Amino acid sequence: MFHKGFFKGILGAGVALTLATGLPAIAQETVKVGLILPMTGASASTGRQIEAAAKLFIAQNGNKVAGKTIELIVKDDQGTADMSKRLAQELVVNDKVSILGGFGLTPLALAVGPVATQAKVPAIIMAAGTSMIVDQSPFFVRTSFTLPQNTTPIAVWSAKNGIKKVVTLVSDFGPGLDAEKSFKAGFEANGGQVIEQLRAPLANPDFAAFLQKAKDLKPDAVFLFVPSGQGATLMKQVAERGLAQAGIKVIGTGDVTDDDLLNSMGDDLIGMITSHNYSTDHNSPENAAFVAAFNKANPNMRPNFMAAGGYDGMALIYKALEKTGGSTDGVKLVEAMKGLAWTSPRGPISIDPATRDIIQNVYIRKVEKKNGQLYNVEFDTIPNFKDPTHK
Ligand code: VNL
């Protein structure tokens, strides 16, 4: 009925308008979030946990926020920093993502920092825990945890609960060194003494020789940190060395008694005390709802602290977009994220406006059996605890 030229005219006008305003009207309705995660390799469980949690958040809250449609893009960096960096560049340049997130290990986060800074794209750290990462780009904001934050409470608790001499054993990279340093600081400030500091390689570690050395030094306790995914291997070797039989207690951060693996670690772990920012067993209505929904969507998985970081990372992105009225300007988004506070499945959390790092409760927990399953049962809380090493 209409002449061909009529449509052409409309289309032409549309294109002209688009060019004139510089705002491609349709494309702008979608906000792309690019998650860079180790989906394969040694840290694949971290990638799986964060992806599942981010998808759960979107399923529960819908993909629309402040008039925009959220599109999640997940890329596998295989746990290698070169790949994380290349994927960040591709996501920014080709996919035009407005926000980056994920980063399963400290070196992977660090590799993305310069890309985020140059592109002015917020980069949400959902896993990595070395304290200084947030200082490396003004576009980093963290929803995971830091090792000084998660370690200091067990250091203080140990000193106050009859443990006098400790050997530390950590993975030899950023978060391990943070854990080693914070343990010593917190423990010795409260009267304890660290008699030896041992470091195991991050890749394919064999802990046997280190554990034997620790045992020979006859400390009251051995403090352990390994990244998520390595706890089961480590604790198997702890059992083989007979530390418990020698009267040596085993303590650590919750990375070691990772909820993802805890059930497969066996009853030897019952009684082990750790400090951490999240337990699947955390007793709150928010967490009960989170765990039930996560289990429903992922029948063979238990949400661990990585899932909490991914879930809250998406919550942070949604809340920031609400605050900017849907603006995806990177500087505005980071400003909007500063000071945001809400109740997470892990308890109350907020983003410190001074550091862009997370402030959260840290819990002292004990491995216990409940309904035939092993859990980290929280029995003490250090409320709203900041990384004590941030200036
Ligand atoms: C890091 C810290 C990674 C704690 C972890 O698991 C972890 C990190 C992969 O900063 O690289 O449990």
- Whether 194 and 183 have beta carbons less than 8 Å apart is answered as yes
Atom of ligand 1 nearest to the CA of 129: 10
Q: How far is the CA of 147 from the centre of ligand 1 (A)?
A: 9
- Whether 377 and 270 have beta carbons less than 8 Å apart is answered as no
Q: Is residue 5 part of a domain?
A: no
Q: Is residue 15 part of a domain?
A: no
Pairwise CA distance, residues 213 & 216, whole Å: 5
Which of the listed residues 255, 278, 305, 357 should we mutate to test ligand 1's pocket, taking the one with most ligand atoms within 8 A of CB? 255
Number of domains in the chain: 2
Q: Is residue 4 part of a domain?
A: no
249, 366: one domain = yes
Identify the pLDDT of residue 218.
98
Atom of ligand 1 nearest to the CA of 174: 10
Pairwise CA distance, residues 336 & 346, whole Å: 22
Q: How far is the CA of 129 from the centre of ligand 1 (A)?
A: 6
Identify the pLDDT of residue 300.
87
Residue with tokens 């609960």: 161
For residue 339, give its domain range.
Answer: 29-145+285-356
Q: How far is the CA of 204 from the centre of ligand 1 (A)?
A: 15
191, 255: one domain = yes
Atom of ligand 1 nearest to the CA of 253: 12
Q: How far is the CA of 361 from the centre of ligand 1 (A)?
A: 18
Q: Is residue 8 part of a domain?
A: no
127, 45: one domain = yes
Q: How far is the CA of 36 from the centre of ligand 1 (A)?
A: 15
- Whether 123 and 100 have beta carbons less than 8 Å apart is answered as yes
Identify the pLDDT of residue 391.
79
Atom of ligand 1 nearest to the CA of 305: 12
Pairwise CA distance, residues 159 & 389, whole Å: 19
Q: How far is the CA of 31 from the centre of ligand 1 (A)?
A: 28
Where the chain has pLDDT below 70, the residues are 1-28
Determine which residue's CA is closest to atom 4 belonging to ligand 1: 227
Q: How far is the CA of 314 from the centre of ligand 1 (A)?
A: 19
Pairwise CA distance, residues 155 & 146, whole Å: 15
Residue with tokens 């780009």: 137
Q: How far is the CA of 226 from the centre of ligand 1 (A)?
A: 8
Q: How far is the CA of 228 from the centre of ligand 1 (A)?
A: 6
Q: Is the pTM of this model over 0.85?
A: yes
Pairwise CA distance, residues 309 & 148, whole Å: 17
231, 304: one domain = no
177, 318: one domain = no
Atom of ligand 1 nearest to the CA of 226: 12
Annotate 113-176 with DSSP letters as a single string. Answer: HHHHHHHT--EEESS---GGGGGG-TTEEESS--HHHHHHHHHHHHHTTT--EEEEEEESSHHH
Identify the pLDDT of residue 253.
99
187, 315: one domain = no
291, 351: one domain = yes
Query: What CATH number does residue 374 fall under?
Result: 3.40.50.2300
Identify the pLDDT of residue 187.
98
Q: Is residue 93 part of a domain?
A: yes
Identify the pLDDT of residue 8.
42
Q: Which residues contact 111 (CB under 8 A, 6 or more apart)?
A: 81, 82, 84, 85, 88
Q: Which two tokens stand for residue 249?
A: 């207690």
Residue with tokens 């963290």: 142
191, 236: one domain = yes
Burial class (CB in 10 A: 0-12, 13-18, 19+), 217: middle
Q: Where are the alpha helices (DSSP H) in the chain?
A: 4-21, 44-61, 81-93, 106-119, 147-159, 174-188, 208-216, 231-241, 285-297, 305-323, 330-337
128, 218: one domain = no
Q: Is residue 22 part of a domain?
A: no
Pairwise CA distance, residues 188 & 349, whole Å: 29
Atom of ligand 1 nearest to the CA of 175: 10
Which of the listed residues 36, 105, 275 should we mutate to test ligand 1's pocket, taking the one with most ligand atoms within 8 A of CB? 105
298, 239: one domain = no
DSSP lists the bridge partners of residue 375 as 368
Identify the pLDDT of residue 44.
97
**DSSP for residue 180:** H
Pairwise CA distance, residues 310 & 308, whole Å: 5
201, 265: one domain = yes
SS3 349: strand
Pairwise CA distance, residues 158 & 39, whole Å: 36
Determine which residue's CA is closest to atom 5 belonging to ligand 1: 227
Q: Is residue 16 part of a domain?
A: no
- How many residues are there in the chain? 391
Which of the listed residues 46, 49, 145, 228 should we mutate to test ligand 1's pocket, taking the one with most ligand atoms within 8 A of CB? 228
- Whether 60 and 100 have beta carbons less than 8 Å apart is answered as no
130, 174: one domain = no
H helices, E strands: number in the chain: 11, 15
SS3 30: strand
Q: Is residue 78 part of a domain?
A: yes
Q: How far is the CA of 148 from the centre of ligand 1 (A)?
A: 13
Protein residues whose CB sits closer than 6 Å to any atom of ligand 1: 43, 46, 104-106, 127-130, 174-175, 227-229, 255
